[in-house]
Chain A
Amino acid sequence: MSMSDPRELSLPRQIWRDRWIYVFLLPTILLVGAFTIYPVLASVWFSLLDWNGFSRAGDFVGLDNYAELMRDPLFWNSFRNTMVFMVLAVPLRVGIALLLALVLNQAFPLVRVFRTAIFLPVVTTAAIVGVVMRYVLDPTGGPLNIVLLNSGLVSQPVNFLGQAGLALYSAVGIWVWKWLGVTLIYWLAALQTIPVDALEAAELDGANAWQRFTTITLPLLTPFTIIITLITVIEATNVFDLMLTLTGGGPFYATEVIDIFVYRQAFLSSVPRLGYSSAAAIFFGVCFIALALVQLAVVTRVRNGRSGK
């Protein structure tokens, strides 16, 4: 079948020619439109309303919700918590998983058992992890505090989730532990791409393990590092289920990340504020897109550098 030059066909004719492609795309377009595009557009509209959700429609207030958001210290508190969570959790998860992957990439007894053990929390529901961890970290009778007290490391039980200055860090630790297995799998897959002959050649040339890691393994892992970090950053901003069941955003907003702030405004207030919560979600979404664009620029620059452009 001869293919005519697309530039010779009008748009309707091109669509008619490729009609089966569009037919097969239709279900995806409809689903993405209904469950992603429409809610996002609806949220943008809602963010311009003063709406308690009790009435069928809100009052149009323009950008008032955004202006109020800029003055709301609790919004900036949740923004800061989200950023602190991300800045702490992402390097920890990516770094620890890389170290574990380097160890578990070796052949030694029970290596599969260790890999499975680290991956197990991943398949557990985040909400369940949140509930269970409240008992694990309980200051009275929680196994972690019992170990700490019996070992003499502390003289008084540690209130991991009840102290405002400690709760966010406890949540970071739990989140890193829960999702470590996924990043470990990414790294193990990436390590399979390191050519063994290059490592062997370096070894023959007298390079020690550290030199082989820094001069061969690490540079070759750079593109994977970028992708794994990008994925982990996105995941670190979606911690609603874990945080809601673990602390509910408390104590005194110490663990209130953006997701919880939006949820609280929309559903937990005695009189809900759907417009205000939508504005918070949209504003944070825009900030996150800006962050992603910065990441994209960095990736492009690294790629161009690698290809010598």
Chain B
Amino acid sequence: MNSLQSIAKTTISRRSLLRGAVALGAASALPLPAFAQAGDTIKWWDIFQPLIPLHEKMWAEYSASHPGKVEYTGMNPSDMMQALQLANRSNQMPDVFNVPNGTPDVVSSLQAAGWFAPLADSFVFDKPFQKEVLAEGFTSFGGKLYSFPIFSFRQTDTSLWYFKDGFAATGADAAKGPATWEEARAAAKAATKDGKYGIILPLQFVDRMKQHLIDLAQAAGGSGEIDWKTGEYAYASQPFVDALNFLLGFQQDGSLHPASSSLDARQGRARWAAGESLMFFDGPWNSGVLNGNFAAVIDGIDVVRVPYPAAAEGNSYTRRSPKAGTFFISAQSQNVALASDVLQQLTTEPYYIGLAERMDQPPLDLAAVEKANVHATYRKVLSSYPEYVRLSPDPLIRNPAVAQVYAEMKPVTPGLGEIIQGAFSGAFSDPKPVLQQFADQMTAERNRAIEKVAATGAKVSVDDWKFDAWTPGEDFTSDKY
């Protein structure tokens, strides 16, 4: 064979070029995992848009020193569950994902349906506070660790944010802020003039309004959705009725921004930040959003803790259940070890400091805030949490079989958020009977679910929701179960 023949043998013919192009085209149409190097890439879906820069930096650093990388997809909170359901049925689940509105009932249902894989055995916690927040039904199932929270339970959605100058102009004590319901209502009334209003409520976002009402009812001395002394639903109790009447008072005074009925939290926040109202209820993430999107106004803003009725002073707390795990590994994942290793990066001190600097939900390690470069409002709102945010008991921790009850319970409608919306829209004039009906329906649904679960042999009863050792002003720590 001479050299020319040799060249002819190795030269790509037109036919083979076409074949190659077709093969490449077909390959590119195949799902990505077919060509991903096995074990090298994990898919990650979440709804934490403010955390994207932090996570991208972390993943880049991880990829630089480890043989693995992350393929991220940011999801809209309202679309996430639909996307996950479709992905699950078509075997296209991301390796790592978060569960929006990851309350114990939803997480229990997903666990019962076999969605999650446990973290790899190599996963470790090296700080005591990380182990303290682990709980069966929230982060562990059947004794195996599936997830962990990255955020602290010590937070609330209902801090009251206000314009300092606008509040001072009402003649009130600007340094103290609208601490009580009476002061907030008076300030709102005084600020309503010249096309501006006292407060905006995101009435279209029923889940947020539900949380506001629960927080305010607790500030009025209520225990929360459940009366922990009796185990009964407390929606029709006096603190809930008083809290709803407090909110309705803004409407009666004419100090509620009229567009509130058609606004969600983002739209409400934008209109408040534009100066259309004096006050706005929001969580700690408001600092991050203001800093990112409304930087021109953030220095004119101040914040106070969840306001309370003057009569409840000294007996006003916010109670939160333990936090469920933030991220879960899919049972369909072929890269559990890599996913666990990447998740391990979310337990380090630099990550907690980075998390604080995003000014979103408070990091699990609240001490990291002191080392972080954050706005004064974020530091202020977080520093107040230890004073009044308490850990509430949870029946799931006492009895893991409660998870089956949660999974069996069907949603009751109209829910608390919808009832608030109805009260503001004039659908009914007296909210008390409607709240009572909701409490009764929830009780009936829980009883039905308990009966059905108990019939399978599980030991569960209404008494699992009763906690005699509960004291309003104290954390319900694990030793009290």
Partner-B contacts on A (CB < 8 A): 52-56, 74, 134, 138-141, 157, 159, 161-165, 167, 247-248, 250-254, 267, 269-273
Distance A123 CA – B100 CA, assembled complex (angstroms): 36
Q: Is the CB of B88 within 8 A of A54?
A: yes
B414 within 8 A of A: yes
Stretch at the interface among B170-178, B233-241, B416-424: B416-424
A-B CB contacts (within 8 Å), total count: 98
Closest chain A CB from B431 CB (angstroms) = 11
Distance A53 CA – B105 CA, assembled complex (angstroms): 14
- A134-B262 CB under 8 A given contacts A52-B109, A272-B81: yes
- A55-B418 CB under 8 A given contacts A139-B259, A251-B427, A267-B82: no
Closest chain A CB from B332 CB (angstroms) = 12
- A251-B413 CB under 8 A given contacts A54-B88, A270-B105, A271-B109: no
Q: Is the CB of B258 within 8 A of A56?
A: no
What 0/1 readout, one digit per residue, does chain B (419-438) give for beta carbons within 8 Å of chain A?
10110111100000000000
Q: Is the CB of A248 within 8 A of B204?
A: yes
Distance A52 CA – B262 CA, assembled complex (angstroms): 30
Known contacts A54-B109, A251-B427; 4 additional CB pairs below 8 A are: A56-B88, A74-B413, A252-B421, A270-B105
Q: Is the CB of A161 within 8 A of B109?
A: no
27 contacts between A and B (CB under 8 A): A52-B109, A54-B85, A54-B88, A54-B113, A55-B112, A56-B88, A56-B113, A74-B413, A140-B195, A140-B257, A140-B259, A162-B259, A162-B260, A162-B261, A162-B424, A167-B425, A247-B262, A248-B204, A251-B203, A251-B425, A252-B418, A252-B422, A253-B422, A254-B425, A269-B411, A271-B410, A272-B85
Distance A180 CA – B259 CA, assembled complex (angstroms): 28
Distance A269 CA – B206 CA, assembled complex (angstroms): 12
Residues of the A chain whose Cβ atoms lie less than 8 Å from the Cβ of B195: 140
Distance A252 CA – B438 CA, assembled complex (angstroms): 14
Closest chain B CB from A135 CB (angstroms) = 9
Closest chain A CB from B195 CB (angstroms) = 7
Residues of the A chain whose Cβ atoms lie less than 8 Å from the Cβ of B85: 53-54, 272
Closest chain B CB from A155 CB (angstroms) = 13
Q: Is the CB of A270 within 8 A of B411?
A: yes
Residues of the A chain whose Cβ atoms lie less than 8 Å from the Cβ of B197: 140
* From A254, A270, A272, residue with most partner B Cβ within 10 Å: A270
Contact among A56, A252, A270 for B106, CB-based, below 8 A:
A270
Closest chain B CB from A154 CB (angstroms) = 12
Q: Is the CB of A162 within 8 A of B262?
A: yes
B110 within 8 A of A: yes
Q: Is the CB of A138 within 8 A of B411?
A: no
- A251-B424 CB under 8 A given contacts A140-B257, A162-B262, A270-B101: yes
- A250-B258 CB under 8 A given contacts A53-B85, A54-B109, A271-B411: no
Q: Is the CB of A161 within 8 A of B411?
A: no
Q: Which residue of A lies closest to B108 (CB)?
A: A271
Contact among B105, B407, B414 for A252, CB-based, below 8 A:
B414
Closest chain A CB from B359 CB (angstroms) = 27
Closest chain B CB from A237 CB (angstroms) = 22
Residues of the A chain whose Cβ atoms lie less than 8 Å from the Cβ of B285: none
Q: Is the CB of B261 within 8 A of A251?
A: yes
Q: Is the CB of B113 within 8 A of A271?
A: no
Q: Is the CB of A250 within 8 A of B421?
A: yes
Distance A13 CA – B258 CA, assembled complex (angstroms): 73
Contact among B276, B409, B414, B426 for A165, CB-based, below 8 A:
B426
- A252-B425 CB under 8 A given contacts A54-B88, A56-B89: yes
Distance A134 CA – B426 CA, assembled complex (angstroms): 19
Q: Is the CB of A138 within 8 A of B427?
A: no
Contact among A54, A134, A248, A271 for B115, CB-based, below 8 A:
A54
Residues of the B chain whose Cβ atoms lie less than 8 Å from the Cβ of A248: 204
Q: Which residue of A lies closest to B196 (CB)?
A: A140
Residues of the A chain whose Cβ atoms lie less than 8 Å from the Cβ of B383: none
Contact among B89, B110, B410, B422 for A251, CB-based, below 8 A:
B422
Closest chain B CB from A254 CB (angstroms) = 7
Residues of the A chain whose Cβ atoms lie less than 8 Å from the Cβ of B421: 250-252
**Which residues between 200 and 218 of chain B lie within 8 Å of chain A, taking CB atoms?**
203-204, 206
B348 within 8 A of A: no
Closest chain B CB from A43 CB (angstroms) = 16
Q: Is the CB of A55 within 8 A of B411?
A: no
B103 within 8 A of A: yes
Q: Is the CB of B262 within 8 A of A161?
A: yes
Closest chain B CB from A261 CB (angstroms) = 10
Distance A57 CA – B74 CA, assembled complex (angstroms): 28
Q: Is the CB of A164 within 8 A of B425?
A: yes
Distance A207 CA – B76 CA, assembled complex (angstroms): 64
* Nearest 10 pairs of A and B residues by beta carbon: A162-B261, A252-B422, A251-B425, A139-B258, A54-B113, A55-B113, A164-B425, A164-B427, A252-B427, A269-B411
Residues of the B chain whose Cβ atoms lie less than 8 Å from the Cβ of A56: 88-89, 113
Q: Is the CB of A159 within 8 A of B109?
A: no
Q: Is the CB of B258 within 8 A of A162?
A: yes
Closest chain B CB from A15 CB (angstroms) = 36
Residues of the A chain whose Cβ atoms lie less than 8 Å from the Cβ of B422: 164, 251-253
Distance A180 CA – B276 CA, assembled complex (angstroms): 36
Q: Which residue of B lies closest to A138 (CB)?
A: B259
Residues of the B chain whose Cβ atoms lie less than 8 Å from the Cβ of A134: 262
Distance A253 CA – B103 CA, assembled complex (angstroms): 24
Distance A138 CA – B261 CA, assembled complex (angstroms): 10
Residues of the B chain whose Cβ atoms lie less than 8 Å from the Cβ of A167: 425
Distance A267 CA – B83 CA, assembled complex (angstroms): 10
Q: Which residue of B lies closest to A249 (CB)?
A: B418
Residues of the A chain whose Cβ atoms lie less than 8 Å from the Cβ of B103: 270
Q: Which residue of A lies closest to B114 (CB)?
A: A55
**Which residues between 218 and 235 of chain B lie within 8 Å of chain A, taking CB atoms?**
none
Residues of the B chain whose Cβ atoms lie less than 8 Å from the Cβ of A250: 204, 206, 418, 421, 425
Contact among B261, B410, B419 for A273, CB-based, below 8 A:
B410
* From B101, B262, B418, B424, residue with most partner A Cβ within 10 Å: B262
* From B81, B110, B206, residue with most partner A Cβ within 10 Å: B81
Q: Which residue of A lies closest to B78 (CB)?
A: A268
**Which residues between 352 and 409 of chain B lie within 8 Å of chain A, taking CB atoms?**
407, 409
Residues of the A chain whose Cβ atoms lie less than 8 Å from the Cβ of B411: 269-271, 273
Distance A164 CA – B203 CA, assembled complex (angstroms): 13
Distance A252 CA – B110 CA, assembled complex (angstroms): 29
Q: Which residue of B lies closest to A54 (CB)?
A: B113
Residues of the A chain whose Cβ atoms lie less than 8 Å from the Cβ of B206: 250
Q: Is the CB of A271 within 8 A of B427?
A: no
Q: Is the CB of B81 within 8 A of A267?
A: yes
* From A159, A162, A248, residue with most partner B Cβ within 10 Å: A162
Distance A166 CA – B219 CA, assembled complex (angstroms): 34
Distance A96 CA – B115 CA, assembled complex (angstroms): 54
Distance A269 CA – B413 CA, assembled complex (angstroms): 10
Residues of the A chain whose Cβ atoms lie less than 8 Å from the Cβ of B425: 162-164, 167, 250-252, 254
Residues of the A chain whose Cβ atoms lie less than 8 Å from the Cβ of B204: 248, 250-251
